[in-house]
A and B are shown apart, each in its own frame.
Chain A
């Protein structure tokens, strides 16, 4: 395992990089703001049993919300597995948890999973979420604009990858291991603000957040793939700052953990006629093990 401390400048650059005007638009479950994050002080390492010399992790700072947020930059130069893990104590039985992170994925297949040993039968119980980057450069020239739009992949864009699970059985020591890394692919991953939150009692709503200097005339939340609109906000006078909790009919965790998640996207319509598209959660493949 190689972990090298780098300056935060690199990650800050990534973090602010939606556009030159440092515009930030975000769509995310409210629980990320309100819940207690059990991974906040986690320490990540590559397990010796899963040694992958072709992969490198660089610890730094910087996420989509603030420059001091913990982050790792993972680079794998080989189409093989490479994972890093952190231990999470304090997992309670009979609760619903939400785990994941903000990511930027460049031509990589990402796997994040949480697992623990059941006290009932001693088996390793795990919960996985995959995200296969639709913006793989190898396919860039092959996909037409319609497909690219539907996949809404952008290596410079923060994506939330996450899922829920229920701790129906107690885990040994109340301990889980959260692992993140490459699922048989090379590529680059930025993995920021990882979280594992007990959402049992948390609101099940989504947050829309806009900050920056570029005026926005309209915001829209759609279901990716079908392009069905779920929410719309129009501004008679364009705005640069905005935040709102979406109505509770928009279930933030719908489909997570059981069925494939239908992605959502926030479409930002700028006053100058341009548009941005922000995906949340990521257009990935979710799976319960």
Chain B
């Protein structure tokens, strides 16, 4: 027996015993075998139902000296693999491939395939690894994890997975196979408000979000309250120290308007301590302003005030850290559960959420790539190493903090705190644990297929872009251009933005991307985002210059089809219902899906012996959004489209030569199906299926009525009603023109809380979020019916007039 050491413990799982395909071992940094007495390696294998392997490795040092080792796992490849994925790129497989996992948005999954036969190897998403190297040769895929042991008894534990997948869509099915292994990493947390996974409003700080911009762009959360006093001062209560005192300010802005409509203006940003806390309380007293959740902005993960940092010496950076440059006025720190700064933060956040009504913590300056090498490293598990020695990346500690934050209940809702992180691309460790991740770029600033890599890292969770359509970035004299040229450029930027957004499920922050086109498309985006971006598209378009993305499974599914050509064209897609139903590539199609364009127009669905197809026209540089409205059994062609008015929409279904049966889904958003679900269709026949929202239908009728006229807004006395009345008044001011007088608001103390009367319409709910939603929908419909010319800026080009019609408000 060689000195090559392994201790096997093999565990049977399920009823299948498959020959182990993965080879696991522990070696020196340079690849030499490790002595049997030095490190004990326990390997537990589980065979999945599909033959894949899940391995847990538990390594323990038996010596009291530093060891820098590698835990390696490899799987054999069949001959003739033609393509490889190295965690970052899909490319032809021409020889040896090597890449470092985790760094630069590289996911810890490597794969190779030929045709539809693919094989993958991946590290566990909850290992909290720092460094690992991937290599692929014609014979094998291998992962080599950097494992450091600093003392006797030090532990490194990790999971490794290998499985086969269907490479019909390249590596996509490998992700679909992998995600369910770690649902907490890749699916939304039901304890967290769905709003946190949605569209960001502004970069709000002290200012309330612009309610009209938020309404038009369907924003649902905002970065709010800058940590203005000092970095790391979470609750605003750090005591100033002597001459180093830090004054109370609000994010260097000297004016803002509070939710009572009072305008505050000071000579500079400083204020008294009393005023500071008064405004903080007022701003965060309610977790939502017009449906936009407070995401409390914090910079405390990586850099904090030197005054604060002095109290937490074990958390301060030592040695080579790889933290990004900049912010030199702050001290670099780390958050790991073993460190005092982590404990301080957990106390601070627990206190924060008791005092204020916030929905999430939004971390900026996260710097996950920084490496901790302090003394407490000896106490930690899963210590890694790089060329400078032992260490753990900051993101692994942030990940633990993010998990802790989700245990904290929000002050006035049934939700738990969510986590938003701006961690850029240097290391993915904390992205696996955030609820929403920001990619701090405009859509065109990164090479294609941006932002798809970031999306693959976060699975179905939230992803938001940043920056926006700032034309001065391209031409400083933009404002001197003719109006048509300005409009053209902004529309072009909007087209690009929506394409990137819909392809990878990345939301566009409201303020930076506001335009008529982006506003219209945001109504589809919020629905698709709620359904969840899916790795396997389940459809593809014939011809070139198309991109297809899928959201939701089964009858919750949407297809978003990007037309990358300038001219309007008909997309002809092959659709695979089995894949749409299960989320996996290559699943045989059973019953068909009936797709109808979300924004109007016909889609032709073809149901054949072995294939289904969908075709429809998509505008030049536009997006076709198709929603699955039912389950189809039969053969032939069906054309389907929406018609109707707010509150009552009709699905018009024409059978060209289709014979069979369609089972229509029960609801589309808040619109419930009226009538039977199952309907037979014969060649040449037409049927109509009505979906209605009684509340919206009555609202639409009321607004259309001749006697509808708004002279004042009457509200109840509670704070939610103040916000919503303010919001309605703002709508009228914007819709009617700035020169008109403000719509008067009158308080009626006899009204129950959360009640508003406007033009004879009553808007009320006992739930503050439903109350806000009803006001929004009321304003949307009022805008469409009575003020159709009041639109977001940047007019739609003539070619798109009438192409994007919103039916369901």
Residues of A within 8 A of B (CB): 49-51, 54, 77-81, 107, 109, 132, 134, 136, 138-139, 141-144, 146-147, 150-151, 184-186, 223-226, 260-263, 283-286
Contact A79 B446 (CB under 8 A): yes
Contacts of B484 in A (CB 8 A): 146
Contact B485 A150 (CB under 8 A): yes
* Per-position binary interface string of chain B over residues 433-450, scored 1 when its CB falls under 8 Å from any chain A CB and 0 otherwise: 000000011011111101
Given A134-B475, A225-B478, A286-B476, A141 and B566 touching (CB < 8 A)? yes
Name the one of A49, A79, A144, A285 contacting B441, with C-beta atoms under 8 angstroms: A79
Given A139-B493, A139-B496, A285 and B472 touching (CB < 8 A)? yes
Lowest 6 A-B CB distances belong to which pairs?
A260-B476, A225-B477, A142-B492, A138-B444, A79-B446, A132-B473
Contact A78 B104 (CB under 8 A): yes
The closest CB in chain B to the CB of A133 belongs to B474
The closest CB in chain B to the CB of A153 belongs to B474
List residues of B (395-425) whose CB comes within 8 Å of A's CBs. 424-425
* Most chain B beta carbons < 10 A, residue from A49, A78, A284: A78
Given A78-B425, A147-B492, A151-B474, A54 and B104 touching (CB < 8 A)? yes
Does B48 make an interface contact (CB < 8 A)?
no
Contact B445 A150 (CB under 8 A): no
The closest CB in chain B to the CB of A142 belongs to B492
Contact B477 A226 (CB under 8 A): yes
Contact B444 A225 (CB under 8 A): no
Contacts of A185 in B (CB 8 A): 445-446
Bound Cα distance from A78 to B488, whole angstroms: 29
Contact A262 B476 (CB under 8 A): yes
The closest CB in chain B to the CB of A51 belongs to B322
Contact B476 A143 (CB under 8 A): no
A-B contacts, CB under 8 A, total = 102
Contacts of A80 in B (CB 8 A): 324, 424-426
Contacts of A225 in B (CB 8 A): 475, 477-478, 480-481
Count of chain B residues with a beta carbon within 8 Å of a chain A beta carbon: 37
Nearest-neighbour CB distance to chain B for A284, whole angstroms, equals: 7
Contact A79 B496 (CB under 8 A): no
Bound Cα distance from A138 to B477, whole angstroms: 22
Contacts of A138 in B (CB 8 A): 443-448, 450, 496
Does B177 make an interface contact (CB < 8 A)?
no
Name the one of B325, B475, B565 contacting A49, with C-beta atoms under 8 angstroms: B325
Nearest-neighbour CB distance to chain B for A200, whole angstroms, equals: 25
The closest CB in chain A to the CB of B328 belongs to A49
Contact B446 A150 (CB under 8 A): no
Contacts of A286 in B (CB 8 A): 476
Bound Cα distance from A144 to B446, whole angstroms: 21
Contact A186 B424 (CB under 8 A): no
Bound Cα distance from A132 to B492, whole angstroms: 17
Contacts of A143 in B (CB 8 A): 488-489, 492
Contacts of A142 in B (CB 8 A): 492-493, 495-496, 621
* Per-position binary interface string of chain B over residues 459-476, scored 1 when its CB falls under 8 Å from any chain A CB and 0 otherwise: 000000000000011111
Nearest-neighbour CB distance to chain B for A111, whole angstroms, equals: 12
Contacts of A50 in B (CB 8 A): 325
The closest CB in chain B to the CB of A262 belongs to B477
Bound Cα distance from A199 to B504, whole angstroms: 50
Does B27 make an interface contact (CB < 8 A)?
no
Name the one of B426, B446, B488, B565 contacting A147, with C-beta atoms under 8 angstroms: B488
Does B564 make an interface contact (CB < 8 A)?
yes
Contact A150 B492 (CB under 8 A): no
Name the one of A139, A146, A184 contacting B485, with C-beta atoms under 8 angstroms: A146
Contact A283 B485 (CB under 8 A): no
Contacts of A147 in B (CB 8 A): 485, 488-489, 492
Bound Cα distance from A150 to B482, whole angstroms: 11
The closest CB in chain B to the CB of A255 belongs to B476
Nearest-neighbour CB distance to chain B for A3, whole angstroms, equals: 19
Contact B481 A150 (CB under 8 A): yes
The closest CB in chain A to the CB of B490 belongs to A147
Contact B444 A141 (CB under 8 A): no
Bound Cα distance from A225 to B478, whole angstroms: 7
List residues of B (477-523) whose CB comes within 8 Å of A's CBs. 477-478, 480-481, 484-485, 488-489, 492-493, 495-496
Contact B444 A136 (CB under 8 A): yes
Contacts of A141 in B (CB 8 A): 564-566, 621
Contacts of B472 in A (CB 8 A): 260, 285
Q: Could you list some 10 contacts between A and B, CB below 8 A?
A: A107-B447, A109-B445, A141-B565, A144-B492, A150-B481, A151-B474, A260-B477, A262-B476, A263-B477, A283-B474
Contacts of A224 in B (CB 8 A): 475, 477
New A-B contacts (6) at CB < 8 Å, excluding given A132-B473, A146-B488: A79-B445, A138-B447, A147-B488, A225-B478, A285-B472, A285-B476
Contacts of B325 in A (CB 8 A): 49-50, 81
The closest CB in chain A to the CB of B448 belongs to A138
Bound Cα distance from A114 to B404, whole angstroms: 44
Nearest-neighbour CB distance to chain A for B374, whole angstroms, equals: 20
Nearest-neighbour CB distance to chain A for B210, whole angstroms, equals: 25
List residues of B (315-369) whose CB comes within 8 Å of A's CBs. 322, 324-325
Bound Cα distance from A77 to B453, whole angstroms: 14
Bound Cα distance from A225 to B492, whole angstroms: 17
Nearest-neighbour CB distance to chain B for A145, whole angstroms, equals: 10
Bound Cα distance from A79 to B621, whole angstroms: 25
Contacts of A49 in B (CB 8 A): 325
Given A54-B104, A225-B481, A150 and B475 touching (CB < 8 A)? yes
Bound Cα distance from A23 to B546, whole angstroms: 39
Nearest-neighbour CB distance to chain A for B386, whole angstroms, equals: 12
Contacts of B425 in A (CB 8 A): 78-80
Bound Cα distance from A124 to B468, whole angstroms: 30
The closest CB in chain B to the CB of A83 belongs to B325
Bound Cα distance from A131 to B444, whole angstroms: 15
Given A80-B424, A139-B492, A134 and B474 touching (CB < 8 A)? yes
Bound Cα distance from A81 to B426, whole angstroms: 11
Contacts of A262 in B (CB 8 A): 476-477, 480
Nearest-neighbour CB distance to chain A for B333, whole angstroms, equals: 18
Nearest-neighbour CB distance to chain B for A45, whole angstroms, equals: 15
Bound Cα distance from A78 to B450, whole angstroms: 11
Name the one of A81, A107, A109, A151 contacting B475, with C-beta atoms under 8 angstroms: A151
Bound Cα distance from A283 to B447, whole angstroms: 22
Bound Cα distance from A186 to B475, whole angstroms: 20
Contact B447 A186 (CB under 8 A): yes
Nearest-neighbour CB distance to chain A for B513, whole angstroms, equals: 14
Bound Cα distance from A57 to B518, whole angstroms: 39
Contacts of A134 in B (CB 8 A): 474-475
Given A132-B473, A283-B476, A186 and B444 touching (CB < 8 A)? no
Nearest-neighbour CB distance to chain A for B454, whole angstroms, equals: 11
Bound Cα distance from A91 to B608, whole angstroms: 78
Bound Cα distance from A152 to B478, whole angstroms: 13
Bound Cα distance from A78 to B481, whole angstroms: 32
Contacts of B480 in A (CB 8 A): 225-226, 262
Contacts of B564 in A (CB 8 A): 141
Bound Cα distance from A283 to B474, whole angstroms: 7
Given A78-B425, A138-B448, A139-B493, A144 and B488 touching (CB < 8 A)? yes
Contacts of B322 in A (CB 8 A): 51
Nearest-neighbour CB distance to chain A for B563, whole angstroms, equals: 11
